[in-house]
Amino acid sequence: MKKQFNKTSKRKFELFFSEDETKKSLFKKILKTFLTILLVVSTFVTATIFIYIFTIANDKIPYDMKATKLHLTSIVYVNDESGKPVEYTKAYDSENRIWVDFKEIPQHMKDAIVAIEDKRFFDHAGVDWIRTGGAILHFLSGNSSYGGSTLTQQLIKNLTEENDVSITRKIKEIFRALNFEKEYSKDEILEAYLNIVNFGGGCHGVQSAANLYFNKNISDCSIAECATIAGITQNPSAFNPFLHPENNKIRRETVIEEMKAQSKITETEYNEAMKESSSMEFKHSVSGINNSSTPVRDWYTEALFNDITNDLAENLKIGKSSAQKMLFTQGLQIYSAMDKKAQSIAESVIVDSNLLASDKKLEVGFLMMDLEGRILASVGAREKKTANSLFDRANFAKRQPGSSIKPLSVYAPSIDLGLYNYSSLVSDSPLPNFYGVGKPGPRNWYSGYKGNVTLQWAIEQSANAPVVQVLQKLTNRKSYDFLIKKLGFKNIDDVDLVSASGLGLGGLHTGVTVREMTAGFQIFGNGGIYNKPYTYYYVLDRNGKILLDNRNNTGKRAISSKTATIMNRLLKQVINQGTGKAASIPDQDVIGKTGTTNKKKDIWFIGETPYAVAGVWTGYNLPKSLSATVYAKQIWKDVMTKYLAGKPAKNYQLDKDVLELPYCKNTGKLAIPGVCPNTAIGYYSNDNMPEICNEHFSGQMQNRTIDDALQPGAYGEE
């Protein structure tokens, strides 16, 4: 018994340690695997951080300060009739910003700004690591008010206009400052700072500030006056001497004290400056500011300058104000895409003719472009332009498009997805809760509802109920995504995403621009390609280096070529016998769509020929009902008729895989000659054909297939 017990105990003992060894082995394997994964992850994270730091370590601001200092005039070129670029206009700086040479800035002004903003400016290489360390400690403790930026970093912040409070921006700013100081001397950086930074009251630079606050040049300013200007830049609003004189007094005296503490002024100079500060007077004057006459730019050139400013800011990673300064001061060579003939015609029709004489307050936005994205003409108002930077109703005004949006938001994507064809039947009937619970809609512009109608008829007559029926099948999400992702619309928002009234009927929350609508319609004339609209071919800097270039831009496909052809022919019927008949031009293949918003507050027409597409909006600055709805179509017709005069006939390139076939207008199906009494010609993709009409067929005819119907002679002479 005892022996048996010993054997059992021994066995258990062996099993215990055997299992323990197995557990240890398993634990080691798990630990090894974990450590391996940890090593891989750590290596990946380290590599990612290294790559990120390496990337931003070479980040530079491609800003030519020397060119800005030279204050060179930029030249705009436009092609003449032979295609040769000739000088058209010049770009002048019209801002309250005057560049003053470094040697003309008094030493007290330089000393004041260094003393209060960056006392180790001449000792560091772009970054003051002592102040940066202090700023980091304050940030970690939850206090972000401690400033660690050097003058160089502040200058870069002004050039880029990046104001987000983040570690990423701060790291980028540090490397940019280090790289900046490798390219420019301390004097050049200080000169740029004193000429670029905001000094309140709309002033950029110390010369403008001296003009505004003291009615004198900066070279004539005293120590106290220089301290006044230097003190403003930390907070241009809070330390503006006109708005907050007491704040400015406290701040300027702090500057004077710092100048003394850093031995930049003597005891005597300190006392004199403090005495002057105690009773300082300001003279609100713009005397001495550069008010040289700036030529009034036409609407096209204004849009051109806006595009260049935005593109320079994006491509060069600088702020818009810095980009605008480049445009007006750095001697750029700008090759405009304007068509002088088209621009002249548009201005003469809208501004110079008596077409709108009966309604003096009616406003207009007009934009014409070719079918590859080139903007040919742009007019932002109905009155003759008498000043610059006026509100542009062609490029910037956002208004509801009404029914003119239907081909873009609903019909084109629906056909492209194969949900409908040219003559599909659509229900012209209200949705039960369109206007709210128990409130059916939408209402049509005509009385009542027609029951089942063809898609072609619904587009031709701009019916409202059918389009929301189509939108329901398409879905709001697909309509929304199509406008934003395929057609570049920028102002469609989340409110529109859930609104059948917005996407289907054009009652959009924010609205759209004439430029967006015109660019969208190009897809119906060029085979389905969306090209981003542009106003310039290319832009060179003063040394001939390419800064911006649109010459090799390629568009992106928005809809298939077959869908583009089908939509083209559908929109042709709007002109032939629909709501757009007034825009028809003899011997021209015109397609288009009208648009009228609720209570006739906005009237649109977007029309297209094989040469160009143009959009017209008419309405009032403060929306109210228009007494006449023909102006948009009439403006379009008058401009386009004159523009096309003398041009050879031109046809759209229609897709060869789209079949031209008769359909039964009662059923929307392919018609059988002699059986279907009410027919019309439709256009169909070979992979989305309707059935053959069998409503009146005999039993044997019902067995026929589409292939049988498409045999030669199946439709007789037609």
Residue 391 has pLDDT above 90, yes or no: yes
pLDDT of residue 148: 67
- Over 80: is that where the pLDDT of 280 sits? yes
- Residue 699 has what pLDDT? 37
Task: Using the predicted structure, report yes or no on whether residue 716 has a pLDDT greater than 60.
Answer: no
pLDDT recorded at residue 718: 23
Burial class (CB in 10 A: 0-12, 13-18, 19+), 293: exposed
Tokens 């390629």 sit on residue: 554
Q: Which residue has the tokens 């704040």?
A: 247
CA end-to-end distance (rounded Å), the chain: 113
Closest CA to 663 of 594, 570, 549: 570
Is the pLDDT score of 439 beyond 80? yes
So what's the pLDDT on residue 64?
Answer: 76
| Strand pairing category for 85-91 and 591-596 | unpaired
**pLDDT on residue 22:** 65
Q: Is 680 helix (H, G, I), strand (E, B) or coil?
A: strand
Work out the mean pLDDT of the chain and round it to a whole number.
87
Determine which helix (DSSP H) or strand (DSSP E) holds 275, and give its type and residue range: helix 267-278
Q: Which two tokens stand for residue 463?
A: 């019916």
Q: What is the DSSP letter of 572?
A: H
Give the list of residues 6+ apart from residue 41 with CB closer than 8 angstroms, or none.
Answer: none
554 Cα distance to chain centroid: 18
Query: Is the separation of the CB atoms in 421 and 687 below 8 Å?
Result: no
Among 70-74, 91-95, 674-678, where is mean pLDDT lowest?
91-95
pLDDT for res 58: 61
What is the rounded average pLDDT of the residues 91-103? 73
Question: Phi-psi category of 713—alpha, beta or left, where left has phi over 0 and alpha has psi -120 to 50?
Answer: left
Mean pLDDT of 530-539: 98
DSSP label at residue 330: B
- Please indicate whether residue 181 or residue 366 has the higher confidence score (pLDDT): 366
Once rounded to an integer, what is the mean pLDDT over residues 71-96? 85
Cβ 80 vs Cβ 86: under 8 Å: yes
As given in the structure block, the two tokens for residue 271 are: 């006392």
Please tell me the predicted confidence (pLDDT) of residue 381: 97
- Residue 91: which pLDDT band, with cuts at 50, 70 and 90? confident
What local confidence, expressed as pLDDT, does residue 711 receive?
A: 37
**In angstroms, rounded to a whole number, what is the distance separating the alpha carbons of residues 413 and 22?**
64
Instruction: Give the count of alpha carbons within 13 A of 149, CB side only.
Output: 21
pTM of the complete model: 0.77
Among the ranges given (40-54, 325-339, 554-568), the one the predictor scored with the smallest mean pLDDT:
40-54
| Most confident of the ranges 27-36, 157-166, 227-236 | 227-236
**Residue 516: what residue type?**
E
Whole-Å CA distances, 158 to 23, 149, 319, 619: 64, 12, 7, 40
Instruction: Check pLDDT > 90 for residue 196.
Output: no
Does position 596 have pLDDT exceeding 50, yes or no? yes
Q: What are the pLDDT digits (tens) for 477-505? A: 999 999 999 999 999 999 999 988 999 99
Residue 60 — pLDDT band, cuts 50, 70, 90? Answer: low
State the pairing for strand pair 74-79/333-336. Answer: parallel
pLDDT above 80: residue 92: no
Q: Write the DSSP symbol of residue 218.
A: G
Residue 647 pLDDT greater than 90, yes or no: yes
Mean pLDDT across 454-472? 97
Question: DSSP letter at 132?
Answer: H
Query: Rounded to the nearest 5°, which phi and psi values hold at 135?
Result: -65, -40
User: Do 347 and 298 touch, CB atoms closer than 8 A?
Assistant: yes
Would you give the DSSP letter of residue 361? T
Tell me the C-alpha distance between 184 and 179, whole Å: 9
Q: Is the pLDDT reported for residue 97 higher than 80? A: no
pLDDT of amino acid 145? 47
pLDDT at 673 (0 to 100): 81
Longest dimension (CA), the chain: 127
**CA 22 vs CA 8, 10, 31: distances in Å:** 21, 18, 14
Please say if the pLDDT value at position 715 is more than 90: no
Residue corresponding to tokens 């280090």? 178
Residue matched to tokens 């202090």: 134
pLDDT at 304: 98
Overall residue count recorded for the chain in this entry: 718
Residue 618 binned pLDDT confidence (cut-offs 50, 70, 90): very high
Cβ atoms 260, 270 nearer than 8 A: yes
CA 414 to CA 422: how far, in whole Å? 11
Residue 196 to residues 109, 151, 160, 181, 303: CA-CA distances in angstroms?
14, 12, 12, 17, 25
pLDDT of 89? 94
Residue 661 clears pLDDT 70, i.e. is over it:
yes
